Chain A
């Protein structure tokens, strides 16, 4: 059963992109374990506001694990110690009375800190702009049932497509690689007949952009998939590599 706990929260505070950051520890008493982690952060911020101190800036929006906005490194794990969830789906029942919880922003060269726990993930958008699409305009497309797609293929594409673009993969990776993010999109579209046509071009363009933006190389440590809130599989990276090598052979 959920009960009430007293905790300490050790939070990364950084006034701006160029400012020197530091940890600050706050005490919070009587936190209900049924509260979500972000609700605990709300309570902390209310406390800070009451003391006329600067509340902690953090990204969050849907609070149901799908928008990909929340992005906290909790006790050494992107999105915290539970599996297959985002920070907003983490609940205080995962923590013990008296515990000190460490909260940091994503730490990755390609995601500079904006303030406190808020980072700039614009690099993911730029990778998408480089090729994460099927080149069709609105209108003039065939009937939706004109091309049959085997159910297992559609299901596999769906699993890859479930990526929420939160950045946990790159944040978890010791090399700061965005391979799982890129692989998820390349796989989804390469699996489907609609996306197959541009598969090689897409893989090359997205990888080139990823490299250009300062993401690291993939050394298959698997940390990305282990921390992915949507359990996007490493098999996608293998598929991306295949698409990429095929594309290079064709050159």
Chain B
């Protein structure tokens, strides 16, 4: 099979991580030096990335931080993050050049930066940066990446419910039930190792037969007619690779999750049925568990899709975020949007708290995990997507420097004037610094995840203030 097998013996040792009163047995992650001599791969601790999406933009008038640098004041919706000042960097002024003027592709392209035209092209997206990261990390984890979202599936063109896109530009469906995800990650398959190996071999044979058939057709078709067939081949091949990986992991027991955590995450918590707080926190708990057990190192989570946004009855908000974002200037609706923003930030602060509370030696889980929190839209009402609301958190042990507000608008406009809503909205429609590209930030993260590339789509360079 593949050379993943040569790593098997290294992963048999156990290692305990403590946090939140739950002990979890883990394979040793540090010393994964390959057997083969001359390996350039040094013993390396995990590097992780999490992407959390806010749909429909924010109330840009209340969200905007108006001061630059290290002494910035937190705006009202961002106040829940004050305790994490040293762990976060809010960034203003970023945009996706390919997204300007496009109304509804913001979630689809947040991590891909692709140009998706609504009039004039077949809907085709490109690879998302998290998948490029997963390519690097997946040999080391049981699952290459985790896609979570309030809405299950891949969604629709121009209304994706997932942030992750394969190299073929095919969306990777997300899951919205923490219980299903937990069972998939930690559930035990029946039968002993031998029985499970038999099942995997069987699956492998099935996929082989299927691929053989498709490959011979591909050969006959020649260069032109291969579009759908390639999509098919790549997807089946990917499942075959996953099967091989699962086989490689077969003799390594899955981490034992203690009963309390297991019960907590196996509750039938579904969006729209549970309280929003409960749902978000359960999902965040699940992400934390997946990261600390090293089931995966790349996670994306849509806290709402552009059309599906949870109502938050706990704070008397019965509308979805989409409705709130189309506020028509109504001050009451805008106030609710701000409260919804603050709510999402509070839950995000909870997530950072959890990550920080888990110690791994001298570092916390947060120190080795970069988290991108933000939206692909800023002024949702008329779909403005310049000056995106973006916050980068964590990853200090990977070399990320936090503690300041990076702002690409202020050098050009000198000062914000939030009382003049119109002018601020214009800022959120037309970027004032064409070089302030979100892909620069994504590239920065990719480099920290050891993705070997000079650029990502239209990136110019990594953001020096974050790594200096």
Chain B binds chain A = no
Residues of B within 8 A of A (CB): none
Residues of A within 8 A of B (CB): none
